[in-house]
């Protein structure tokens, strides 16, 4: 089976999206890139994630957008994944969710500010891409333009898009952005939240690069 490893990975994370409450029904989509072959494995359109089989995952040529393998109809947002694989060398996996708090915030058409240091997995903040009809090249371009310098963007009146070096990273970003959107919503009901500075967020972003890879050095207490 062509790109069997990638197909299984997409399948597993698709099921996680449902179980973790990051999307509803058949909404959202995700993909992973095989850089060597310049092919991407992407979820199909309109099929229950919990019923997906590896052969249901569709293989698409990144350069042309043509289906290389698979009998299913690929996700309508294929172009929104493909544009990142063509023009962002740091992104090799894309996750698109309809998670409640991120989608709710996207309906305001405003960015998610640095409400919590965990947002640094994505960047300094999370912008909001201009609205365009789902499944269109216009939406793909809007998302790409909004996501400059970050690994996540809200999609106005639609949902959330994240990218990473791996599907694990892209999915982790989606989870943390949703968490921060929820925190922001809660904080706004109680008052005006304190927002972390860009300097502090960039400091945390640097610390995250070695997170879990080395023992932290501490100042005297």
- In the set 12, 36, 55, 77, the catalytic residue is 77
Taking the chain, what is the end-to-end CA distance rounded to the nearest angstrom? 57
Closest CA to 89 of 62, 57, 111, 128: 62
41: part of which helix (H) or strand (E)? strand 39-42
C-alpha span between 195 and 55 (Å, rounded): 45
Which residues neighbour 55 within 8 Å (Cβ) at sequence distance 6 or greater?
Answer: 1, 7, 70, 71
For this structure, is 77 an active site residue? Answer: yes
Long-range contacts of the stretch 186-190 (C-beta < 8 A, 24+) = 187/115
Compute the distance between CA of residue 122 and CA of residue 150 in angstroms, rounded to an integer: 6
Shortest CA distance to 29 belongs to which of 161, 153, 203, 151? 161
Phi–psi pair at 163, nearest 5 degrees: -140, 160
**Residue that has been written with the tokens 């058409």 in this structure:** 109
Residues annotated as part of the active site: 77
């Amino acid at each position: 089976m062509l790109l069997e490893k990638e197909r299984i990975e997409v399948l597993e994370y698709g099921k996680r999206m449902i179980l973790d409450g990051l999307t509803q029904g058949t909404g959202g989509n995700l993909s992973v890139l095989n850089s060597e072959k310049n092919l991407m494995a992407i979820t199909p359109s309109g099929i229950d994630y919990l019923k997906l089989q590896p052969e249901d995952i569709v293989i698409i040529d990144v350069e042309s957008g043509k289906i290389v393998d698979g009998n299913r109809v690929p996700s309508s947002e294929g172009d929104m994944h493909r544009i990142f694989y063509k023009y962002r060398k740091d992104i090799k996996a894309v996750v698109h969710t309809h998670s409640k708090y991120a989608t709710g915030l996207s309906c305001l058409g405003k960015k998610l500010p640095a409400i919590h240091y965990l947002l640094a997995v994505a960047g300094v903040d999370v912008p909001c891409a201009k609205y365009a009809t789902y499944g269109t090249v216009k939406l793909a371009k809007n998302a790409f333009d909004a996501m400059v310098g970050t690994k996540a963007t809200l999609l106005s009146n639609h949902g959330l898009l994240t990218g990473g070096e791996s599907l694990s990273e892209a999915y982790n970003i989606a989870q943390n952005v949703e968490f921060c959107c929820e925190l922001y919503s809660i904080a706004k009901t109680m008052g005006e939240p304190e927002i972390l500075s860009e300097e502090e967020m960039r400091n945390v972003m640097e610390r995250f690069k070695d997170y879990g890879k080395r023992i932290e050095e501490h100042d005297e207490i």
